[in-house]
């Protein structure tokens, strides 16, 4: 039980911040190989987000330094590694109509944005672990 509240609070934090960014600030990709927004598989998106938040929560738990600052640091690392790997693989391995699915600049923006999102997510997770002292 001690892991559920930090995980779900982190997931809500990540989902809110990333939704604001991807739906309100960053333009939706226009590549013909990207699923139109109204056809996006939201279940898969939520599951993928839960996996990334779960990675951050796991790293924070392993670090045993429960504070918002430590959580932010570990969350940022999880965001860099997981999202960086995803973007590099997609850019390197997949093409669409003879070109890349997204430009390298778009990939870099996505990685940097996810470092920030995951730092905020990790801070929330770390704060909740700190409140419960992760002892039970």
Tens-place pLDDT, residues 43-67: 999 999 999 999 999 999 998 889 9
Q: Looking at the domain assignment, is residue 74 inside a domain?
A: yes
Q: Looking at the domain assignment, is residue 30 inside a domain?
A: no
Question: Model confidence over 72-84: pLDDT tens digits?
Answer: 999 999 999 999 9
Q: Looking at the domain assignment, is residue 73 inside a domain?
A: yes
Q: Looking at the domain assignment, is residue 34 inside a domain?
A: no
Q: What is the pLDDT of residue 133?
A: 60
Q: Looking at the domain assignment, is residue 56 inside a domain?
A: yes
Domain range for residue 94?
A: 4-19+43-132
In terms of C-beta density within 10 A (0-12 exposed, 13-18 middle, 19 or more buried), how is residue 81 classed?
middle
Q: Looking at the domain assignment, is residue 112 inside a domain?
A: yes
H or E segment and range at residue 13: helix 4-20
Domain total in the chain:
1
Q: Looking at the domain assignment, is residue 32 inside a domain?
A: no
Q: Looking at the domain assignment, is residue 88 inside a domain?
A: yes
The mean pLDDT value for 108-120 works out to: 95
């Amino acid at each position: 039980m001690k892991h559920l509240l930090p995980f779900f609070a982190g997931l809500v934090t990540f989902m809110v911040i990333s939704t604001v960014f991807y739906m309100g600030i960053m333009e939706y990709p226009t590549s013909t190989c990207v699923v139109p927004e109204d056809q996006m598989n939201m279940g898969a998106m939520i599951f993928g987000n839960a996996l990334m938040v779960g990675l951050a929560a796991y790293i924070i738990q392993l670090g045993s330094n429960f504070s918002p600052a430590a959580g932010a640091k570990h969350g940022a690392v999880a965001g860099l590694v997981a999202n960086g790997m995803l973007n590099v693989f997609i850019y390197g391995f997949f093409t669409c109509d003879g070109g890349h699915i997204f430009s390298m600049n778009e990939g870099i923006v996505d990685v940097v944005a996810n470092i920030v999102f995951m730092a905020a997510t990790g801070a929330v997770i770390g704060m909740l672990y700190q409140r419960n002292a992760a002892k039970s």
